[in-house]
Amino acid sequence: MALVNKLGLSGNPFEHYTAETEPNIASYAVRPPYLETISNRACGLSSFILLGDRGAGKSATRITVYSEIWKLCAENKKGPLALNMTDFSLLLEDFGKGKLSDKDIVRSTAFFVVEQVLIWLSSLEEDDRAVYIDGLDKDERTLVFALIKGFYLPVNDMDRSVSTGEALRLLNSAWMTKSAVWVSQRWDALSKIVASAINAFSKKEMGDSVDISVPAEMLLESLVGENPNAARAVLNKLVEFVKAFGFTGVCVLVDKVDETPATSSSAEATARLIYPLLSHIQLLEVSGFSWLFFLWSNVQSHFNEKYPVRLDKIAHANITWDANSLRTMIDARLRFYSKNHISFADIFIDGTDADVVFQQLVRISVKSPRELIKLMDIIFREHDAKGSDAPDLIDQESLTIGQDKYARETIGAWYANKPLLQVLRLGMIDFVNRDVQAAFKIGDQGARVKINSWEDSGLVRQNGTAPSELGGKQVYRYCVADSRVQRIIERRLDDLVGSGIAGQEAV
């Protein structure tokens, strides 16, 4: 019998690893650090940067704030237009050529703002939608027409379709007041409604007496030209645009910058992608337009060095979880699925020190809520895999097997293959430059390049200094920063551990 059944749980408390896929998360979610701060700044249209390690709850915070803002709108309370900016595909071509500018990022943002308004309109009953569209005056209709023509329609149909599908899904989970078409989730019908709204905006104002196309073209020309203030002008016009539909302003939730094909596993590339925007502080200070950034904490060092960003002028914080908060999170899940009968301490065989075990699990899951949930799921799974030999509750063997398997299964998704294999081949938890030289038969500069790439990926970090074997000044000491990689090396869970230069040509 599966452990879930033996414990009398209604389901697996650790089945879902991401906030987007958890159907009951509102019933047991532990509010992450800084949630109130970010929620207040979102509603107040004030920009903010939340930094955190992967899996620290940045996306969960973003989704919660997004939902809370749309709940305000559903209750007919004044609030900003909230939208998620998690797709950077429109920027990657210019980024790859080294030509990405703040204007490019603002153009992409304008597409998402227009898209979100169109999707929101499609969620309304036809009569309600008509009130908003027909209620626009000539100047407002001119602005809407210009923004749709200049920033929405130029994106090709396939990219629009993919983006709209994701936006529909997210708004569907947050928006309470929906038309019958929305309730039935007939996305094909909704797409037709979006198209009809676009067509309605392009119609002539006041019957056929006034044509808005000419003033719209003039406005558009001023927004897409080479004027150095064009990007700021676009943001101001986007504020006017959403206010025409009753919103107080725009709140853009920027997340997953480090998860694009061009930035994955590289803090330097992630910093470079977002740098054109963060370096232009005036774009973060447009009245009625706020940016909330959810960024990998490793990018911060690059903001201080190669890509200077005035963090002293941008409100920011680092999201971290302590063991007590993580324990509360795990207990909340277990209590929800057991109708308040079971907590973490109740899932182990007699004689197990649950507090000691929890500290071990927190360490190997790098203090990440998402990773801790994933680790617990694997422990449950490995305990069940023992079949009839498994005791009714979790024992030390299941804990050991689960942690070993977790370390091996998850680490490849966090780091690029090349630096990860190199660190495993080095086979050392603590090391200095000369250790790398010896392991890979390379010189000082070559070792330095390798170490720098390991640092950039987050695999290792500087850990003080050590006496030089050659005398003179001390040398930097480094250590493996990820406890999962440490476990793989210490327990030799991979055949590559300590193999040094052997097979080096493969990486």
The tens digit of pLDDT for each residue in 187-233 reads 566 677 777 778 777 654 444 444 556 666 666 676 776 777 888 99
Q: What is the pLDDT of residue 272?
A: 94
The tens digit of pLDDT for each residue in 228-279 reads 788 899 999 999 999 999 999 999 999 999 999 999 878 899 999 999 999 9
Average pLDDT of the chain is 87
Q: What is the pLDDT of residue 214?
A: 61
Quick one: CA dihedral 324, 330, 333, 334, positive or negative?
negative
Angle of the 102-123 helix axis to the 187-202 helix axis, nearest 10: 110
Quick one: CA dihedral 379, 384, 386, 391, positive or negative?
positive
Quick one: CA dihedral 371, 377, 378, 380, positive or negative?
positive
Comparing CA positions, the residue from 307, 317, 319 lying closest to residue 272 is 307
* pLDDT classification of 23: cutoffs 50, 70, 90: low
DSSP letters, 428-472, are -SEEEHHHHHHHHT--HHHHHHHHHHHHHHTSEEEEEEE--TTSS
The tens digit of pLDDT for each residue in 51-76 reads 988 878 888 889 889 988 998 888 87
Structural domains of the chain, with CATH: 3-12+322-413 (no CATH), 33-319 (no CATH), 417-506 (1.10.10.10)
Mean pLDDT of 300-308: 84
The tens digit of pLDDT for each residue in 356-406 reads 999 999 999 998 888 999 999 999 999 999 998 889 999 999 999 999 999
Residues 6+ apart with CB under 8 A from 241: 113, 114, 117, 143, 144, 147
Question: Is 84 a residue whose pLDDT tops 90?
Answer: yes
> Percent of the chain, pLDDT > 90?
52
The tens digit of pLDDT for each residue in 320-363 reads 888 999 999 999 999 999 999 999 999 999 999 999 999 999 99
The tens digit of pLDDT for each residue in 465-505 reads 988 876 678 899 999 999 999 999 999 999 999 987 754 44
Distance CA 403, CA 410 (A): 11
CB 440 within 8 A of CB 500: yes
Q: What is the pLDDT of residue 209?
A: 46
Mean pLDDT of 136-156: 87
> What b/e readout covers 17-52, taking b as 16+ CB neighbours within 10 angstroms?
bebeebeebeebbbebbbbeebbebbbebbbbbbbb
CB 7 within 8 A of CB 338: yes
**C-alpha 23: how far from chain center:** 19
